[in-house]
Chain A
Amino acid sequence: MYLENPKKFGMLVEQAHQVALNVLRPISRKYDKAEHEYPKELDMLASLLDGMNEGAPGSAGATSATGGGANTNTGEIKNGSNLSTALGVMEMCWGDVGLLLAMPRQGLGNAAIGAVANEEQLERFKGTWAAMAITEPNCGSDSAAIRTTAVKDGDDYILNGEKIYVTSGARADSVVVWATLDKNIGRAAIKSFVVKHGTAGMQVTRLEKKLGIKASDTAAITFTNCRVPAANLLGSPEVDVQKGFAGVMQTFDNTRPLVAAMAIGVAKASLDRTRELLKDNLSVNYSALPMQASFAEATLNRLEAEWEAARLLTLKAAWLADNKIPNSKEASMAKAKAGRVANEVTLKCVELCGALGYGEDELLEKWSRDSKILDIFEGTQQIQLLIVARRVLNKSSAELK
């Protein structure tokens, strides 16, 4: 039993922390102000990460937002890429969560490719920067209700529909689009397609103006008779009612702990800075018990306890994945806890620091805006609770809606 960060990832965590401190933090406010402007500073960093990804798996290159990567099960306890990625993401988001999301070639689309692509596709899409397009104007968390259609036509599929909230949707090389082969079948008929930018019939219609994570662009994209090679359908083209949706959904089991890790990172930034600003008001080394501490100190310590709990739940979900133990429930538990805790922590830290926290001289107010999305995307708080509840209560989605 050992619940500390693995010693072997010490270097990775340190590297990621240095990147966050020296590369992301200095441009954090700049791109919060300059929404939609491309953070060109990330190009060099992304190349560096690519190089590291090619090299040692224990290096900071594993700090993408995608994770994944296969581990072989040898019966030994493993600390693999799920854990190292989660740890890297935490550090990077201590720097800036928006900038991490904007990182070239590290998008969720890449995670989807990693999770469901076959060998040939993995090779063909290597090095691509793929965004992920799931949400539609009338369908958010209920991704089974997708209306974008894909109709087979010879060696191609023809896509029609509208996608919104596509992170890096305009900047990426391609977009992984979720579409249904048959609206009447529901989940099983949903497939994902890699669509390259520049494909006729694909058009970015707008970029959202947002509350936070402004460094990360969020696009709306329409597909009008957009012709995509059949070979770009990820995974099997068969409509298998038994497991069809599972393939698509398994992407989420990998990415939910990573969004939780983002929440952990941004909340840590707020906790660290608040502890620094309040240092004259805090007892040394947690020496005052909650009843004896000031309200401010007791609040901060409670938040830190909640934060640690969320962090451990996240590491547990990643550890399970590394050891090939099913983690769907734990991934959602981590996401639910980390999402709400990060939001509470960042907002309370603004409150604790008063005008200093609320003002733009500090980044505290920015982190409290950035954190909100982390309790929403990749499944809202309520969706995570629904998933956890169904597992705990052993209920189907028809029974517990």
Chain B
Amino acid sequence: MAATFMGQAQGFGLAILTQMASSEWPDKFKLRKPIEKLLYQGSKTGFQVMTKVSRQFASSGKTNGQVTRLSTSASKGLFDLSLSDEQQMIRDSLSMFAKEVIRPAAYDCDGNASIPAELLAQAQELGLIYYAVPEALGGMATEDNVTTQMLILEDLAYGDMSITAALYSAVSVANTLSRWGSADQQERYLRAFASEKPPQAALAVVEKTPLFDPYKLKTSAKLVGSDYLLNGEKALVLVGSDAELFIVAADVDGTPALFIVESGTAGLSISNGSAMGLKAASTQNLILNNVRIPATNRLPATFDYQAFLDLGSLAWCALSVGCGQAILDYVVPYVNEREAFGEPISHRQGVAFMVADMAIELDAMRLMTWRACALAEQGKNFHREAYLAKILCAEKAMKLGTDAVQLLGGHGFTKEHPVERWYRDMRCLAVMHSGLHL
């Protein structure tokens, strides 16, 4: 089914709509079975387990040695906050998905630290991954679509930040390979992402070091003959126990580099890496103990580590904007309905001004993120803008999270309301580096 319309659809927005219309997720949602615990329960109890057994990633042999890169689009040079019709359509559809499918599942996903298979299947029917894979490699992307993907993240995160991070882990790996992979790497792995059953995958950059600096990695890669030997430990790896493919950041003689590591490779294991938030994404530690991979699995020299990190930061910024909007939309009716001293608490400036500030800073976060993404999409230098967006979002996201709990008072501190979950999730903004990638 997917294969037939993929060739015909003019734009991916239509593709998403088509897929959603033909999918059965609303029905499935009503029929949702109780959550099944994952097979990898052991990984959550402190044992180290082997990573998932990988499929065979094989090159089709069709490669002509030409790497595929998405083209950038020029702007008309007018300040413009409007969205394209296609973007608006995607927004409308995904907002609905976020509200009707993701949000109702968020509480259980957080509690169980996993996402039920039904929800994953519904999400897969959205076909988000095709957006990350160029047309030439079986996907739907015809040009760089950073802003559209940013909007997708914003809208899905309105449902739940942690679930969205999980859903976007594989998309992020595909984006990374589309943007930086060699011709052979693209042929071998991107085609798999564009298949009917795309692999689960994760980016592994963060390490458990105070004041962690992604430019000074403790995980190392040493060239031994025609192989690299990888050693070290990665933290906060999204969907780690389900991933069939990892992209691991490691230091090569003082320079950070990225390596493609298939799960099941000898010496690769995971251990429980659960954190205060991002529970649904089932964060794991990835342990590399003399992991031997072919030298060709290193991302090529044209790889730009700073841009890679920046596009990761912007993905998290987009998530925080979506979560921030969810927070604001939750807090407003609460303070309007909650009464104290005979009137709604929103009639007090002490409360109302906090809400006003939340609205102001949320819009600030959004504009900073949009601006940097728009520059990136046009192939312009966007490091400064991404850097500043990350600073602002990291600070204000947490402010939104903590103020939301504050405004709900004791109720906000309990799991009766989602604000305590958002509080835990929003803390990750300042901590995460990569893990996601636009």
In the bound complex, what is the Cα–Cα distance between A313 and B81 (angstroms)? 11
B359 touches A388 (CB 8 A): yes
In the bound complex, what is the Cα–Cα distance between A77 and B77 (angstroms)? 11
Query: Given A309-B367, A312-B371, A336-B356, do A302 and B395 touch, yes or no (CB 8 Å)?
Result: yes
Known: A2-B78, A309-B365, A382-B349. 17 other contacts (CB 8 A): A1-B147, A3-B81, A6-B77, A77-B78, A285-B384, A289-B214, A289-B215, A309-B361, A319-B79, A319-B81, A333-B363, A385-B353, A385-B357, A388-B360, A389-B349, A392-B359, A401-B349
B336 touches A2 (CB 8 A): no
Cβ contact of A8, chosen from B78, B346, B373, cutoff 8 A? B78
Indicate if A163 sits at the interface (CB-CB under 8 A): no
Residue of B nearest to A381 (CB): B353
Could you pull out 18 A-B pairs where Cβ atoms are within 8 angstroms?
A1-B80, A1-B374, A3-B367, A3-B370, A3-B371, A3-B374, A5-B79, A7-B78, A8-B77, A286-B387, A292-B211, A305-B389, A319-B79, A382-B349, A386-B349, A388-B360, A389-B346, A400-B352
Indicate if A232 sits at the interface (CB-CB under 8 A): no
Q: Scoring A residues 372 to 401 as 1 if CB is less than 8 Å from chain B, else 0, what string do you get?
A: 000000000010011011101111000111
**Using a CB-CB cutoff of 8 Å, which residues 19-61 of chain B contact chain A?**
none
Indicate if B70 sits at the interface (CB-CB under 8 A): no
Query: Given A285-B383, A306-B392, A389-B356, do A312 and B80 touch, yes or no (CB 8 Å)?
Result: no
A1 touches B370 (CB 8 A): yes
Indicate if B388 sits at the interface (CB-CB under 8 A): yes
Residue of A nearest to B360 (CB): A333
Chain B residues closer than 8 Å to A304, beta-carbon distance:
388
A1 touches B392 (CB 8 A): no
Cβ contact of A389, chosen from B75, B83, B355, B388, cutoff 8 A? B355
B360 touches A3 (CB 8 A): no
Indicate if B291 sits at the interface (CB-CB under 8 A): no
Q: Please give the distance in Å from B424's CB to the nearest CB on chain A.
A: 21
Indicate if B89 sits at the interface (CB-CB under 8 A): no
Chain A residues closer than 8 Å to B408, beta-carbon distance:
none
In the bound complex, what is the Cα–Cα distance between A319 and B388 (angstroms)? 22
Indicate if B375 sits at the interface (CB-CB under 8 A): yes
Residues of B within 8 Å of A, CB-based: how many? 53
Chain A residues closer than 8 Å to B212, beta-carbon distance:
291
In the bound complex, what is the Cα–Cα distance between A309 and B375 (angstroms)? 16
Chain B residues closer than 8 Å to A389, beta-carbon distance:
346, 349, 352-353, 355-356
Indicate if B415 sits at the interface (CB-CB under 8 A): no
B367 touches A313 (CB 8 A): yes
Chain B residues closer than 8 Å to A388, beta-carbon distance:
356, 359-360
Residue with the highest number of chain B CB atoms closer than 10 Å, among A291, A308, A315: A308
B interface list, Cβ under 8 A from A: 75-83, 147, 211-215, 306, 328, 332, 335-336, 344, 346-347, 349, 352-353, 355-357, 359-361, 363-365, 367-368, 370-371, 373-375, 377-378, 383-385, 387-389, 391-392, 395
Q: Scoring A residues 287 to 309 as 1 if CB is less than 8 Å from chain B, else 0, what string do you get?
A: 10111100000000110111011
Indicate if A79 sits at the interface (CB-CB under 8 A): yes
Residue of B nearest to A78 (CB): B78
B80 touches A313 (CB 8 A): no
A83 touches B364 (CB 8 A): no
A392 touches B356 (CB 8 A): yes
Residue of A nearest to B210 (CB): A291
Indicate if A273 sits at the interface (CB-CB under 8 A): no
Chain B residues closer than 8 Å to A319, beta-carbon distance:
79-81
In the bound complex, what is the Cα–Cα distance between A395 and B352 (angstroms)? 10
Query: Given A285-B384, A286-B384, A316-B81, do A392 and B391 touch, yes or no (CB 8 Å)?
Result: no
In the bound complex, what is the Cα–Cα distance between A313 and B80 (angstroms)? 13
Residue with the highest number of chain A CB atoms closer than 10 Å, among B212, B363, B385: B363
Chain A residues closer than 8 Å to B75, beta-carbon distance:
2, 4
Query: Given A3-B374, A389-B356, do A308 and B388 touch, yes or no (CB 8 Å)?
Result: yes
What 9 A-B pairs have minimum CB-CB distances, sorted nearest first? Answer: A7-B77, A309-B364, A3-B371, A312-B367, A389-B352, A389-B356, A388-B356, A305-B388, A305-B391
Q: Please give the distance in Å from A254's CB to the nearest CB on chain B.
A: 18
In the bound complex, what is the Cα–Cα distance between A305 and B386 (angstroms)? 10
B76 touches A2 (CB 8 A): yes
Cβ contact of B79, chosen from A79, A289, A382, cutoff 8 A? A79
Residue of B nearest to A307 (CB): B388
Cβ contact of A4, chosen from B79, B352, B383, cutoff 8 A? B79
A313 touches B360 (CB 8 A): yes
Q: Please give the distance in Å from A176's CB to the nearest CB on chain B.
A: 30
In the bound complex, what is the Cα–Cα distance between A114 and B352 (angstroms)? 34
Chain B residues closer than 8 Å to A77, beta-carbon distance:
78, 80, 82
Indicate if A337 sits at the interface (CB-CB under 8 A): yes
Indicate if A310 sits at the interface (CB-CB under 8 A): yes
Chain B residues closer than 8 Å to A308, beta-carbon distance:
368, 371, 385, 388, 392
Q: Scoring A residues 28 to 52 as 1 if CB is less than 8 Å from chain B, else 0, what string do you get?
A: 0000000000000000000000000
B336 touches A393 (CB 8 A): yes
Q: Scoring A residues 307 to 342 as 1 if CB is less than 8 Å from chain B, else 0, what string do you get?
A: 011101101100100000000001001001100000
Cβ contact of A290, chosen from B353, B378, B383, B391, cutoff 8 A? B391
In the bound complex, what is the Cα–Cα distance between A319 and B363 (angstroms)? 15
Residue of B nearest to A301 (CB): B391
Residue with the highest number of chain B CB atoms closer than 10 Å, among A2, A302, A310: A2
Chain B residues closer than 8 Å to A399, beta-carbon distance:
344, 347
In the bound complex, what is the Cα–Cα distance between A286 and B328 (angstroms)? 31
A385 touches B356 (CB 8 A): yes
In the bound complex, what is the Cα–Cα distance between A302 and B389 (angstroms)? 10
A79 touches B78 (CB 8 A): yes
Residue of B nearest to A8 (CB): B77
Chain B residues closer than 8 Å to A315, beta-carbon distance:
79
A392 touches B332 (CB 8 A): yes
A2 touches B374 (CB 8 A): yes
In the bound complex, what is the Cα–Cα distance between A315 and B215 (angstroms)? 35
Chain B residues closer than 8 Å to A301, beta-carbon distance:
387-388, 391
Q: Please give the distance in Å from B434's CB to the nearest CB on chain A.
A: 13
In the bound complex, what is the Cα–Cα distance between A374 and B83 (angstroms)? 33
Q: Please give the distance in Å from B150's CB to the nearest CB on chain A.
A: 9
Q: Please give the distance in Å from B154's CB to the nearest CB on chain A.
A: 12
Q: Please give the distance in Å from B427's CB to the nearest CB on chain A.
A: 15
Residue of A nearest to B394 (CB): A290
Residue of A nearest to B333 (CB): A393
Q: Please give the distance in Å from B86's CB to the nearest CB on chain A.
A: 12
Chain A residues closer than 8 Å to B388, beta-carbon distance:
286, 301, 304-305, 308
Chain B residues closer than 8 Å to A401, beta-carbon distance:
347, 349
B211 touches A286 (CB 8 A): no
Cβ contact of A1, chosen from B83, B336, B356, cutoff 8 A? B83
Chain B residues closer than 8 Å to A286, beta-carbon distance:
383-384, 387-388
Q: Please give the distance in Å from B231's CB to the nearest CB on chain A.
A: 24
